[in-house]
Structure 1
Amino acid sequence: MKPEEYAALDATGLAEVLAAGEISAEEVAELAIDAVTAVNGELNAVAAGPFERPLGHSPGGRFAGVPFVFKDLVCHAAGVPTKMGTRMLGEGIRPPADTHLMERFREAGLATVAVSTTPEFGFNANTEALAYGSTRNPWNIEHSAGGSSGGSGALVAAGAVPVAHANDGGGSIRIPAAYNGLVGLKPSRGRVPLGPDLGDALSGFAIEFAVTRSVRDAAALLDDVAGPFPGDRFIIAPPARPWAQEAGADPGRLRIAVHTESWAGTFVDPEVAAAAEATAAVLESAGHQVEHATPVFDWDEFMHANVVIWSAFLAESVAGVEAMTGLHAGPDNLETTSWACVQYGRRVTAVELGAANAVVNTVSREVGRFFTEYDVLLTPTTNTPAPKLGHLDANADLDAAGWTRRIFETCSFTPLLNATGTPGISLPVAMSDTGLPIGVQLAGPMCAEGLLLRVAAQLETALPWADRQPAIHVTSV
């Protein structure tokens, strides 16, 4: 198999070739390791690896032998160093065991060849942690790969691996999916396990999953990794049928709301808004009922709740690192905005955290009401295509509120779904005049992954993206 043949296959297609015996898992692993090495010189998307050989995995899983990377945050593998994007952890600590999600990735047959980069503790829509340096966008290396799953997004877009782990506390699956031209599904809260180290994360905002090149890969992988473990804090309704059967199924005639104005009142690039409107027109021509509508909530109150919740979580995370390492956090080992958020988070009282969660409850009730009137909400994923590197500088002189607002005012369409716990998916439906991908977001009510996958597959057929290829790609380096 030639590199261009390898890079042209999504995870499902590559699994089929492997299962048919057309190529061995060892040969595919060699291709992947070479590909990661080749593109990483330009992208700087690897936190650890590539390894000499993939981590152990099931030979009988659906994706047996399919190359994979996991993000250096939350999910971890036994004995593989993790440093969560922070200099506090130096060369990394070696966890004694897999997380439950890593167990599921191995059972699915995914062959892990590297660990991907993340911003410090994941709190940035850009991936330029001082612990690794800047991760660059394969479509234009002067631009951001997004965050916080920017390393995973860059490697999948560049053809190095067909699928990669990602997680999402404010848009961190969907933002890099949009910036890198990928599919980014954020499942419902409680759908994918966070344990055993966590019951929930970030007051329930954080969700685990992946970035993929195709809708069918997202659906099939969700079948393999979703579902509770004993002791999980939340257990939600299982799907009526496998999600793999949803990609390509008839979605029926749906009530679809479209909204292209920033809830923060900030700038939305006209090309991005136009892409969302054009996508709405495609759905209307397919027979859906489409109209302009939006949930109504107070953005300033919502942002203050995010400041409190994110800062408290960062303070908690840093306290855990201090306990593991014996180090004391400070401006010498944390980035400027991380330290500002940690200091603020240490001052948050139980009453303040309760008030923030009350705001989240109010917003969630409004969004829940909205989804009794509409089946799907269509928005841009991000306010603009990928910005230049340094646009979200984590070492800027900003306090916790200033930093949190700066992130979400530039990516104002994603954090709502983290607060509500509802699913959303970013699809790479268009390209900007400057050659950067544009993503649109489909959102639905709790447990509506199947519905979103049906609509996403409909758009994948109407607005195909599989043949697009960035400048930095395994076939060109």
Structure 2
Amino acid sequence: MISPTEYDQLDGLAMAALVRTGQLTPADLCAAAIARAEAVNPKLNAVVYPLYEQARRRAAAGLPAGPFGGVPFLLKDFGAQYTGAPHTSGSRALRNFVPTEDAELVCRWQAAGLNILGKTNTPEFALMGVTEPTLHGPTRNPWHLGHTPGGSSGGAAAAVAAGITPVAGAGDGGGSIRIPAACCGLFGLKPSRGRVPTGPEQGEKWQGAAVEHVLSRSVRDSAALLDATQGPDVGAPYFLPNPARSYLEEASRAPGRLRVGFSLGHPLGSTLHPECATAVRDAARLLESLGHDVAEVPLPFDGRAVATAFLMLYFGETGASIAALAKVLGRPARPRDVEPTTWLLSLLGRTYTAADFAAARHTWNDSARRMGRFHQTYDLLLTPTLATPPVRIGELQPKSLEQTLLKVVNTFGLGGLIRRSGIVEKLAEQSLEKTPYTQVANLTGQPAMSVPLHWTADGLPCGVQFIASLGAEDVLFRLAGQLEQAQPWFDKRPALVG
């Protein structure tokens, strides 16, 4: 058996080591995880589909002897399909959908020995940087229950921060690993485009902007799980060179003297919250103390152009998702099937032309070239992960006037008219104003990580982001391991579980 205190002091690799040496069993870990979930989840609403009985049976029957043999794990209720478990993507339109085939990534996670305990909350179709779907209700931040854990992997982040599992599945199409990592005091790495599989049904997600990995408390858990999942699957459209060494090994290697450019510029020209600026300045000083070359630089990309191109993707993919609902519903989707904002986004997606989308893709390529030139001088770009600390629950929901506008537009299908008015772009920009730093790495395909190095005066986490050149996850893991040693965060725990 293992006590709650002992369970909370272990990362995933430490748990697996105790199983391998016979000091614990998978059943012990499963019982501890379920007990923690039952204690804290009612306050958080992080796990929306418990699969406890299935997890108990797997623990008793025996799990693969992989690097995470017996370790409890949670899947995000978006992207990573799991046979026999609900897969709603946070939408009432899919509340009865149960997949009959595992995603390739889920197969690899299970082969690594992870024991799936349940599924975590996500905003509808993973479209928001907060996790407040109508279907399941909001997930709350363990550090302060009145604030968001971020999104779209907010349920996963809240669960890991609260100690339900040491690691949980997550996905990132515009910052959805890094944003909740920053909000919940976790380590979150978005791998390079093509580093992990997206099959068996899809060759790429969100035109290649979206990639899945995990949220974790320790750097080494993230590294070891990327070792277990990296590499193309059948029909993959992207092939990256294999890493020279395992990422787990890289996480314990010295990073050498890195050239780091940091920026406090807001990509949309707005004001950066002082706490986020302090987080970056403190990180820059820490890097200098560790022997790295650090210089302040202007942002090496056009923030407004990136935002515009991302919104084109955002609208278009939402439109495609709504159209695809017909396969599950047996009829075309209707406004009442989804949330009003989601339906409006889908209407907007249908008002743009193929030429509009092609022009937006040119911005992707231009941004990649700009970042490539930046990396000829600097190994890494350091920015805030977010432009503000975690916002309050409900703060980014449409206000009453906006809700009236949404109702009129959705009722009469006025997507083209509302697009020409510029109102929706203004509303969308206001949303991106809080999260303007993460999208560029999705468009360029570069790996990026959020590292928990700062907490606000109110005790809320405030992460910083590092972006590396395409395929350079090894550089990120080496630096993350050094930062974790220099300024440890593993034992910083929210009062909810203290």
Q: Same fold (TM over 0.5)?
A: yes
Is the aligned partner of 1:428 residue 2:452?
yes
Say whether the 8 Å CA contact 2:192–2:447 is kept in structure 1. Answer: yes
Rounded Cα–Cα distance in structure 2 between residues aligned with 1:155 and 1:423: 24
**Structure 2 runs not aligned, ≥5 long:** 407-422
Rounded Cα–Cα distance in structure 2 between residues aligned with 1:402 and 1:209: 31
**CA deviation vs aligned residue, 1:301-343 (integer Å, no higher than 9, x gap):** 3222122111111111111122221243333222122111100
Say whether the 8 Å CA contact 2:307–2:439 is kept in structure 1. Answer: no
Say whether the 8 Å CA contact 2:122–2:151 is kept in structure 1. Answer: yes
Alignment correspondent of 2:190: 186
Q: Normalised by the size of structure 2, how large is the TM-score?
A: 0.92
Rounded Cα–Cα distance in structure 1 between residues aligned with 2:466 and 2:433: 19
Q: Which amino acid aligns with 1:6?
A: Y
Aligned with 2:463: secondary structure? strand
Deviation at 1:403, TM superposition (A): 4.4
Is the aligned partner of 1:405 residue 2:393?
no
1:254–1:52 Cα change, 3 Å: same
- 344-353 or 131-140, which deviates more: 344-353
Say whether the 8 Å CA contact 2:50–2:118 is kept in structure 1. Answer: yes
Aligned with 1:347: secondary structure? coil
Rounded Cα–Cα distance in structure 2 between residues aligned with 1:58 and 1:24: 10
Rounded Cα–Cα distance in structure 2 between residues aligned with 1:261 and 1:145: 24
Rounded Cα–Cα distance in structure 2 between residues aligned with 1:412 and 1:297: 12
Rounded Cα–Cα distance in structure 1 between residues aligned with 2:371 and 2:204: 21
Match of 1:68 among 60, 69, 73: 73
Is the aligned partner of 1:382 residue 2:399?
no
Rounded Cα–Cα distance in structure 2 between residues aligned with 1:393 and 1:21: 49
**CA deviation vs aligned residue, 1:384-410 (integer Å, no higher than 9, x gap):** 211100122168546652443233210
Deviation at 1:12, TM superposition (A): 1.1
Q: Which amino acid aligns with 2:187?
A: V
Number of residues paired by the alignment? 473
Q: Which amino acid aligns with 1:352?
A: D
Deviation at 1:258, TM superposition (A): 0.7
Rounded Cα–Cα distance in structure 1 between residues aligned with 2:487 and 2:81: 35
Is the aligned partner of 1:89 residue 2:113?
no
Alignment correspondent of 1:44: 45
Q: Which amino acid aligns with 2:435?
A: C
Alignment correspondent of 2:358: 354
Match of 2:279 among 270, 275, 282: 275
1:342–1:362 Cα change, 3 Å: same
Is the aligned partner of 1:297 residue 2:297?
no
Alignment correspondent of 2:469: 445
Rounded Cα–Cα distance in structure 2 between residues aligned with 1:21 and 1:404: 53
Q: Which amino acid aligns with 1:339?
A: W
Rounded Cα–Cα distance in structure 1 between residues aligned with 2:110 and 2:426: 40
Rounded Cα–Cα distance in structure 1 between residues aligned with 2:485 and 2:305: 40
Rounded Cα–Cα distance in structure 2 between residues aligned with 1:196 and 1:471: 41
Alignment correspondent of 1:465: 489
Alignment correspondent of 1:7: 8
**CA deviation vs aligned residue, 1:236-256 (integer Å, no higher than 9, x gap):** 111011001111211111111
1:308–1:290 Cα change, 3 Å: same
Alignment correspondent of 1:237: 241
Deviation at 1:372, TM superposition (A): 1.1
Identity, in percent, stands at 41
Rounded Cα–Cα distance in structure 1 between residues aligned with 2:436 and 2:386: 7
Alignment correspondent of 2:413: none
Q: Which amino acid aligns with 1:206?
A: A
Alignment correspondent of 1:28: 29
Say whether the 8 Å CA contact 1:408–1:415 is kept in structure 2. Answer: no
**CA deviation vs aligned residue, 1:326-379 (integer Å, no higher than 9, x gap):** 243333222122111100112222111111101111111111111111001111
Say whether the 8 Å CA contact 1:262–1:412 is kept in structure 2. Answer: yes
Rounded Cα–Cα distance in structure 2 between residues aligned with 1:407 and 1:200: 26
Q: Give runs of aligned pairs for residues 193-208 of structure 1, distance below 5 A.
A: 193-208=197-212
**Structure 1 runs not aligned, ≥5 long:** none
Q: Give runs of aligned pairs for residues 244-259 of structure 1, distance below 5 A.
A: 244-259=248-263
Q: Which amino acid aligns with 1:165?
A: G
Rounded Cα–Cα distance in structure 1 between residues aligned with 2:302 and 2:272: 19
Q: Which amino acid aligns with 1:335?
A: E
Alignment correspondent of 1:16: 17
- 29-38 or 103-112, which deviates more: 29-38
Looking at secondary structure, tell me which structure has more helix per residue: 2
Q: Which amino acid aligns with 2:49?
A: A
Q: Normalised by the size of structure 1, how large is the TM-score?
A: 0.96
Deviation at 1:80, TM superposition (A): 0.9
Aligned with 1:52: secondary structure? helix
